[in-house]
Amino acid sequence: MRGIIIVLSVILAACAPPPLPFNATEITGVSYGTQLQIPDTQGKSRSLADFSGKITVVFFGFTSCPDVCPSTLMRLGQLRKSLGADGAAVQVILVTVDPERDTASRLDAYVKNFDPSFIGLRPEPAALESVVKAFHAIAVKVPTADGTDYTIDHSSTIYVYDQNTRMRLIAQADMPIEQLAADLRRLIADS
Amino acid sequence: MFVYVGIASAEPNIQIENARTRSTAPGQTVSGGYMTLINNGPTADRLLSVSASWASMIEIHHTRMDGGVMRMREVQGGVPIPANSRVELKPRGMHLMLMQLAAPLEAGHSMPLLLQFEKAGAVKVSLRVEAAGQMP
């Protein structure tokens, strides 16, 4: 009888469904993007600890980015709305990869044009490279055709931290918002 | 002294639908422009350039996602619009890069734009400004 119970337990344990994968890529435990220390648009240095208790969503971009950045920020605003009351637990952060042109006031007005809760972080130009590297991201200036202006090729990955400020997920900028919302609901429920 | 060459092809066979852009915040100098270019004619045409008084530099760009990196490049040689076809300028694809904005674009406004086509010539378009927080 005891043997049967043990066998049954083993079978039951083997049948227990593994946790479903997230829609985004889970990267819990990676060594990159685990910290940040960047001034906000008020000049106050912010770190992940400031966002403890929030699901923090970090995206790199710049205010002169006409296409992917506004499209992604708009969708991250929709993401917060789609979460209803849980949306208040989501903090979206845009880290500018263009601190030379993105003044603090310009960056602040830009992010708040999408959602008043969004925060812009602005590395000093000299610190940009190390910030980008710390996220295994890239940002490369590309001159426009006539050479008088430039755009910036940059990583469009969305980084997601849980409420304990642990890096948990990365998603591509075009991931359907419902999928990302489902992941965020899970992170909120798990903590 | 009559030159007929080109007159037949100058018939207006280009139609523009859903021309739109996003509102911009103070200080922001760039926005993206999108629209559907429709060629109802039997001959191919090409969008060569775009101009506006309120954006002193406008380029046609293509966004390419390359291993999680967003790269934008100018479209060389204009946008081909085959006969009887539709070409979409859309987010995360081909789009207008409206640069050096003279003033912020306000949601609800319409902005005039002049498109220059190889065969259809100049075509005026009104660009609808949509709230950045709502336009995909």
Per-residue pLDDT of chain A (191 residues; tens, 9 = 90+): 555 655 555 555 566 667 789 999 999 999 999 999 999 999 999 999 999 999 999 999 999 999 999 999 999 999 999 999 999 999 999 999 999 999 999 999 999 999 999 999 999 999 999 999 999 999 999 988 778 889 999 999 999 999 999 999 999 998 999 999 999 999 999 87
Q: How far is CA B92 from CA A34, A143, B32, B53, in A?
A: 29, 20, 10, 25
pLDDT at position A23: 96
More confident residue, B134 or A87: A87
Cβ neighbourhood burial of A188 (10 Å; 0-12, 13-18, 19+): middle
pLDDT of residue A1: 54
Is the pLDDT at B35 greater than 50? The verdict is yes
Chain A residues in contact with B107 by the CB 8 A cut-off are none
The distance of Cα B40 from the centroid of its chain, to the nearest Å, equals 17
- Residue contact B133–A114, C-beta within 8 A: yes
Contacts of A113 in chain B (CB under 8 A): 23-25, 28, 132-133
3-class SS of residue A121:
strand
pLDDT for B5 equals 42
Identify the residue with better confidence: A163 or B136: A163
Mutual orientation of helices A68-82 and A177-190 as an angle, nearest 10°? 50
Compute the radius of gyration of chain B from its Cα atoms: 16
A166 and chain B: CB distance < 8 Å anywhere?
Answer: no
Q: Do B68 and A157 touch (CB under 8 A)?
A: yes
Q: How far is B85 from chain A (nearest CA, A)?
A: 24
CB A88 within 8 A of CB A63: no
Query: Which residues of chain A does B98 touch, with a Cβ-Cβ cutoff of 8 Å?
Result: 66
Most B CBs within 10 Å, among A65, A67, A169, to test the B interface: A67
Q: How many whole angstroms separate alpha carbon A123 and alpha carbon A107? A: 12
Can you name the residues that pair with A153 across neighbouring β-strands?
A140
Q: Which CA distances in Å does A57 have to A61, A161, B93?
A: 13, 6, 24
Please say whether the beta carbons of B88 and B51 come within 8 A. no
Residues present in chain B in total: 136
What average pLDDT does this structure show over B114-135?
A: 95
Answer yes or no: is pLDDT of B10 > 90. no
Q: Does B59 touch chain A (CB under 8 A)?
A: yes
Q: CA A113, A172, A166 angle in degrees (round to 5)?
A: 85
Confidence of residue B76 (pLDDT cuts 50, 70, 90): very high
Q: How far apart are CA A85 and CA A9, in angstroms?
A: 40
Residues 6+ apart with CB under 8 A from A170: A24, A25, A27, A157, A158, A159, A160
* Closest residue on chain B to A112 (Cα): B25
Q: Which helix (H) or strand (E) holds B16?
A: strand B14-22
Q: Is the dihedral of CA B88, B93, B94, B95 positive or negative?
A: positive
DSSP state, residue A147 = S
ipTM above 0.95, yes or no: no
* Cα(B82)–Cα(B93) distance, integer angstroms: 18
Cα distance between residue A172 and residue B64, in whole Å: 13
B71 interaction partners in chain A (CB closer than 8 Å): 142, 153
